[in-house]
Every structure is written in C-alpha cells, then in structure tokens.
Chains A and B, each alone.
Chain A
Amino acid sequence: MTTRDGLAEKHCAVSGIGQSDVGRRLGRDPLELTLDACYAAVADAGLTPADIDGLSTYPGGMAVPKGFTGASAYETLDAMRLEVNWFDSGVETSGQLGSVMKACMAIGAGMADHVLCFRSVWEGSAQGAGGRASLGPGGGQGGTIYAGDFQQWMLPFGSAGAPIWVALFAQAHMQRYGTTPEQLAQIALNARRNAGLNPKAIYRDPMTLEDYFNSRMITTPLRLFDCDVPCDGATAFVVSRRALAEDLAKPPVYIEAMGAALHDRPSWDQLRDLTRTVGADAAAQMWSRTTLTPADVDIAEIYDGFSYLTMLWLEALGLCGTGESGPFVEGGTRIALEGSLPLNTAGGQLSAGRLHGYGFFHEACVQLRGEGGARQVASRPKVAAVAAGGGNTCGCFLLSTES
C-alpha cells in the first residue's frame, strides 16, 4: 500500500450537502429537483457555483430506464453555467457512490478543488405514468419478446430483475447460516422506526412485525416490505480539497477511506460464493486504506434496495462476522438509534425512498455534523460506514469528523 499522502481520499472532505424535496410522486421536472439539490449543496458549503470546478454524477444521461436518471452531467453543467476543469458520469462503476470516488480521485490528481456530485431520480413519477421499465420488457399481449446480452440468461426464465436475483442470494444465506425471516424483517422495521423521525421520509407510519409478515410475498423470501420504495428526489454533495474545506461554512466531514474493488465475476449468478457479496472486496480495500477498524464505526448507513443487501453488507464491512448478520440484527436493539450500531438512521430506501445510494452518504454527513434533529444519534457519532450497491456493483466509504 502506498503512503497516506498518496491516497486520493486523504486530500478530500465533504464541504456541502444538499437534497431536494423527496416524495413518492412529486410530478416535478427532474432537472428542477436536481438543481435544487445541487444549489443547496453549494450554498451549504458557503460556496457559489463559480467556485465549483468539477462535476461527477451517477449514472448520467441514459435512454432507459425511465426515471432512473433525472439529469445528465451535460444538462447540469449547462443549467448551472459551471466552468469545470474535470467532469464525469457513468453507470459502470463501483455502485452509485463510485461517482463520489471518482470525485476524490480527481481532487487527488489535482484536476479539481471543489467537485459537485449528484444523484437524481424520478422513478416514482415514471412508474406512476406507466410501469417500471427497469424490470425488463413492458407488458403487451401475444408475440415473442427477445432478450439479448446479459438479459438472455435471465428473462426467458422469468428472472426479471434484482428482486429475484437478490432473493436467490437471500435464500442461499438462510439455508447455509440459518438466517430467519424474523431477522430479515428487522432491517425493514428499523428503517420504518427511523423514518418516523425523518420529516422527508416517504413511509412514516409505524410498522409491526405482524404488518411485515402480512405484506405481499414478492419472491421468496422477499416480501413487499423488503423492497425499497421508488421516489422522486435528488441528493448532492460538494467534495472539496481538505485544505480548502477547513475554511468553509460547515465543519468538514473527512473522507477517511473508500473501497471500489471487484475481485469476483461481475455477474449475478456466476459468483464464487452465493452468500458473499463483491462488496466484501470493496470493504477489504477500504479497510486497507485506513488505520481505523470496524470497532471504530459509530453508525452505519447501508444500502437497502432490498433488506437482505444490508445484512450482506454488515458482514462484508466486518461489522459482524461472516454469516452472522441474522443474529446481529435479531430483535433490532443493536441497530436502533439507541443501539451500539445505529443503522440507516433516516429510514433507508425501504421507508425514506430510493434516492439510490446517495441518501446513505447524505445521512452519514447529517449525523456526523449533528444535524439529525429528532433522529440524531445522541452519542454524537464520529465515524460512519457508508455502503451502496449490490450484486456486481458495490462501493463503500468511511467518513470521519476527524482528519
């Protein structure tokens, strides 16, 4: 491993955060939501758009699926009249937060000083207007649908998307380690408890274990409440050069380490071990870039596109032992706001809305700054683990209040 100074993230801190309105179906122009988040992040840092000299986003401009991206890099650069020294977007990266890693690399490489990062979705409105395009070909009566590329190995068998692919992993974990549906439920119940304290969360009504088990079975063992809720909303950060961030409006949130590694096949069914995530590769890399250890983590903000992915990440990050995520979350007390490892303190994507990876990073910054309001973890966390993605696209961060 290279020296500390050689690591890009050691030159970086989050100086500003911003988020648009978030709702199930806002019916607003997604570019407007994007700009609301971006301008808010810039202002939060005490900067102006003229100070922004870099831009990074996930996934950027894409034709499909509808609602998956609210604004491209070009649209946002132009709408804000930014003059940048570096910019990037792309979907083939280490999870949604791969875009934030690239921002750190740009700063570490001397290409920029203040990089605006954003993720914008309008899947709630898009799906309200006509089905979830991300789950394969649309409806239609009669005829044959043809699947090419990767989808040819999935769609002919009705393996129509991530819910089923993740369900297959979850079932294997249950078989191998004895993980129970009651344990899985804790991820959803914890998210809902915390969402009740987050005024921007989509679903805030209390959920009981009985409510969870009464929710519709989607694909065993995943129920409706194991699946995140599509929404409209945008989230943005300004990642700044540390030396500059320290003189800005808010206390910097330091980027202590990041992980992007992918050592297994980028596949949903050819993995070496079905009960392990490629997030474990990313996490191992992250821990290799810091002197901190899993014992130093005060809060965890972990992707819950499906509840099981959070459990898998808890193991990957070393926050519990391999195969032990079930007992770790059992009963929900350990992961509650008052517990030893508060988890998904804003309600996660399960209850607060599928802001797609960026919501977790945002909430980690909120908590580390002590700006969580009713949901603020009282012990004032100093170190947060943030992880996003699942399947073949995983990335993680360690954020800290101390440099």
Chain B
Amino acid sequence: MTEPSTLVVLPVLTERNRHFWQGGAQGHLTFLRCQTCGYYLHPPIPVCPVDQSKDLKPEAVSGRATLASYSVNHHPWLPGFELPYVVALVEIPEQPALRLTTNLVNCPLDEIEIGMALRVVFRHFEDPGGDVWLPLFEPDGDRP
C-alpha cells in the first residue's frame, strides 16, 4: 500500500528508531536486538537492560502477532483518521510482553477476537524527512 503523505501523523525519524519505521521497505518488522543475550529492546535504547551490552543490531522478526487487546475508537481525536478505527495492542511472539500499539486492519468489527492470530502489513508514507512504513496488523488467514 502506498499513501500520499497528507493529513497523517508520522514519527520523527532518528538514528535510534529508523530501523523500526523503515523496516517495512524490505517487508520486515524489525526490532533492535542484543547480540550478546538475544533480548529485543523496544522502544529502542542504546544499552541492553539485561546485560548492559552495547552490541545491538536491528533484526527482522516473523511479523506474526496475536491480538492482546483492542478498542474500536469512535472519537475524532486527530485529523485524518476515518472513524471508527481499531487501535490494537499486539503481542509479538518472539519475546514475552513485547508488544506494539498499532491498528487492526482488514478485519470486520464483529470478527475481532482477543487472542486471534495476526500478521504485519505495512502502510507506506512518502515523506521528505525519510519514508515511513507503519506496521499495521491484519488477520492471519494461514493460522487458526
């Protein structure tokens, strides 16, 4: 998906977060990972809290997730969001309590179920400060 960059909220890209927001260019959900102990650091920070290692590298994960919670939002908090939209908390299976706040897309409201299997889908925004791929999640038809 490619969207024009009008009336949207995008992250400010920094050296610390670029891998996450641009991982979608390669189709990958990408987290910073400690190369010493394997811990995923989210949000990304410069030192691993488990072993204080600074040997950290972006790594792709499977892109799979499960729905931990959701809210169907009906209130126009922000311009440019078509109502209603579904804010989702998704659990990334690679590490306990590694979660993302995101949107659930391509899912009828009456089929939303906590615990359902999801997969990442990226929404691409062109931006002069650097393109951004927002990781959204949709039902994973290949998994029950």
Contacts and interface: CB of A to CB of B under 8 A. Distances in A.
Interface of A: 135-137, 139-148, 150, 152-161, 163-164, 167-169, 171-172, 175, 216-222, 268-272, 274
Given A136-B77, A175-B69, A158 B87 contact: yes
Given A169-B69, A271-B97, A144 B75 contact: no
A159 B7 CA distance: 16
A147 B12 contact: yes
Interface-central residue, A136, A160, A161, by most chain B CB under 10 Å: A160
B54 to A, nearest CB: 21
Interface in B65-88: 68-75, 77-79, 81, 85, 87
28 contacts: A135-B77, A136-B9, A141-B7, A143-B6, A143-B7, A145-B10, A146-B12, A147-B10, A152-B12, A153-B43, A155-B9, A155-B78, A156-B8, A156-B9, A157-B87, A157-B102, A158-B77, A158-B81, A158-B87, A159-B87, A163-B75, A171-B69, A216-B74, A219-B71, A220-B74, A269-B101, A271-B97, A274-B69
Interface string B112-144: 001100000000000101001010100000000
A158 B114 CA distance: 20
B9 A219 contact: no
A270 B74 CA distance: 24
Interface string B43-73: 1000000000000000000000000111111
* Size class of the contact patch on chain B: 35 or more
B103 A158 contact: yes
Given A157-B134, A171-B114, A219 B103 contact: no
B108 interface: no
A269 B101 CA distance: 7
B11 A156 contact: yes
B76 to A, nearest CB: 9
B85 A158 contact: yes
A220 B89 contact: no
